[in-house]
Chain A
């Protein structure tokens, strides 16, 4: 059995699939893709709804169809694949310890590694809701798996906490399958999901979305019987006297996703406290040379299309790394989140690439704003470039292209800021 590879990719979801295919396309020869589940495709098979591929394929596909496009391709390539294989440890000198039923314990040597482990859902424990511990409390993604893959109906009368995309999609799905979704509660004063999902999943079925609301208590002996909900103030503190009770047998939690970075942390790679993912340069390379990251393990995306796009970036640069064909800038450019910017990926720019025209910067804003500009400001406070945006909201990731010509040799940092449109007009 082969135990030495040029490139090992950990995770066979949209990020890992795109990274593997693109690396092969660019001439990387010895590629191994490791997946802990029985099948490739990650979460896509349980996302049976459409809306995938609008950016990447310019077609409206369902999750399984989107996955199939990549899996069909990968089966036609010379990429080694091991499913039902769990990576338990990676080392700084790029050894990978993995386990599976057929091979037992594996120690694989890699010249480069791509981390593509995705993310997992925040649970009730992560948000600490008081009350008893009855059955009937699920994360939205678990309920999605039960209904769409396993064929079980989690409940009949549902309250959903969190207006993230999976929560709203599950509100529609459960309604179509005959459940009654009594309310979707959102602690923030705005939706954290896509507008498209609010309209087509909630408004279409008259499901009420209540902003500034949260669950304060869960009650039930064996099964959930009711929840107490309450309004919150600007500081997200419960306003006494606003409590109401809703009877229900099921609670779905759609309260955010956490990049799954146990392997990353253990190998000693520093994480960004805001994204929960590793700090990377424009090649999505972590602080250990030759260990890359892409997709939701790096930052939680709204769309699988962007995950595939990032997988491709990594597939391409992995080849450059393996060839030793890279030139560092004399000084790394630090990308700093400024006014109303939560975070920016990549966090720094390290390389000189002669034929590169632009670098795509991904970011999320902290609060919604209308008629603004996203400004790129140099270390002397000068606005280098400015992009008009009708609206920015934390629910929709923003991206702007940084033109390569602006990356002057001695530039130390670049601040990304949201500014009012009129003030910045030039």
Chain B
């Protein structure tokens, strides 16, 4: 039997719940104050997912980085692996908000999309150079 403590984030109460499971199947959830807790605990226990917001290097842009996010939440355990893949990406300005920066991030089937616009740098003087 395994046991895991989960803090609910559905509301400010922050109920401390205990999930008991046998071979991955949930037997009991205790400590929740409302039904929302059960739902949250189930998801958090079986398959915790997170949206990953980060940045990607820009070439020839008015700024050196563009903010991005995974279009959908990805498994929590894959966050650092996803960051390693994202670190290799460079994208050319101009960039439009919502633009797909990378398809199928680390085989999750989830795209990485830009969360802001980046214009082209209007002169070489002002453009940022990426130092390698």
| A interface residues, Cβ below 8 angstroms from B | 45, 48-50, 60, 62-65, 67-68, 147-151, 176-177, 194-196, 198-200, 203-204, 390-391, 393, 396
Contacts and interface: CB of A to CB of B under 8 A. Distances in A.
B55 interface: yes
Interface in B47-92: 50-55, 57, 63-65, 67, 69, 76, 79-80, 83
A390 B33 contact: yes
B124 to A, nearest CB: 18
B12 A391 contact: yes
B79 A199 contact: no
B82 to A, nearest CB: 9
A194 B50 CA distance: 17
A45 B117 CA distance: 10
20 contacts: A48-B53, A48-B55, A50-B53, A50-B69, A62-B67, A148-B67, A149-B63, A150-B64, A151-B65, A176-B52, A176-B80, A176-B83, A177-B54, A198-B7, A200-B9, A200-B50, A204-B76, A204-B79, A390-B12, A396-B12
B27 interface: no
Q: Which of A65, A149, A150, A396 has the most CB of B within 10 A?
A: A65
A390 B67 contact: no
Contacts, number: 74
B14 interface: yes
Contacts of B65: 148-151
Nearest to A66: B115
A396 B117 CA distance: 32
Nearest to B6: A199
Contacts of B115: 48, 62, 64-65
A150 B83 CA distance: 18
B51 A45 contact: no
B128 interface: yes
A195 B67 contact: no
Given A67-B116, A149-B65, 16 more contacts: A45-B67, A63-B67, A64-B97, A65-B97, A68-B116, A150-B64, A151-B57, A176-B54, A176-B80, A194-B12, A195-B12, A200-B9, A204-B79, A391-B12, A391-B13, A396-B12
Contacts of A393: 12
Nearest to B51: A50
Interface of B: 7, 9, 11-14, 33, 50-55, 57, 63-65, 67, 69, 76, 79-80, 83, 97, 115-117, 128
B128 to A, nearest CB: 7
Nearest to A62: B115
A399 to B, nearest CB: 12
Contacts of B76: 204
A253 B117 CA distance: 30
Contact of B54 (A48, A64, A198, A200): A48
A195 B7 contact: yes
A22 B98 CA distance: 26
Nearest to B11: A390
Given A195-B7, A393-B12, A64 B116 contact: yes
A393 B76 CA distance: 28
Contacts of B14: 195, 198, 391
A205 to B, nearest CB: 9
B51 A151 contact: no
Contacts of B80: 176
A196 B115 CA distance: 22
Contacts of B7: 195, 198-199, 203
Nearest to A398: B12
A60 B51 contact: yes
B67 A64 contact: yes
Contacts of B51: 50, 60
Contacts of B13: 390-391
B50 A49 contact: no
B79 A176 contact: yes
A165 B51 CA distance: 17
Contacts of B116: 45, 64-65, 67-68
A49 B9 contact: no
B80 to A, nearest CB: 7
